[in-house]
Amino acid sequence: MSARHWSWAAVPLVFFMAWPAIAGKPLVSAAWARATPPGATVAAVYLQIDNTSGRADRLLSLSSPVATSSEVHRTSVEDGIARMREISALHVAAGEVVEFAPGGLHIMLFGLSKPLVAGQSFALKLVFELAGVQPVTVIVRED
């Protein structure tokens, strides 16, 4: 086989191998939190993760300068009582859009240094197993 044949054969392989790097990262958007009453030390954040990266990933941890710790929770109703469970590693399939919304998935902030005031915003970092740190700005709303 000539050198010319080899180079043509290599083209599809190179595209395939480069694809995850081109496809990039899960898109985190529409982040918001409800304003908190004075003295409150916990808050919930809602957002959307659109995994356009072309590969499954996992959300492993979160951090924000406004809270001492944060966790992913899922609210479910069992025997008529709403309960929250922590999800230590949230699996996000390739192509999946994960919606965090009141009554379901949410991010819980603990140890708020001050109340969240409507109209303000704060930073939140999501740490994915493969995509690494994905920052998002959270808008505080009245409702």
Residues that bind Cu ion (CB under 5 A): 73, 84, 108
The nearest distance, CB 44 to Cu ion, in angstroms, is 6
Given the complex with Cu ion, which of 84 and 87 has the nearer CB atom? 84
Query: What residues have CB less than 8 Å from 124, skipping those under 6 apart?
Result: 31, 45, 62, 63, 64, 70, 107, 135, 136, 137, 138
**Token representation of residue 95:** 């192509």
CA 118, CA 36: separation in Å to the nearest integer?
9
The residue with its CB nearest to Cu ion is: 73
Given the complex with Cu ion, which of 112 and 131 has the nearer CB atom? 112
Given the complex with Cu ion, which of 26 and 73 has the nearer CB atom? 73
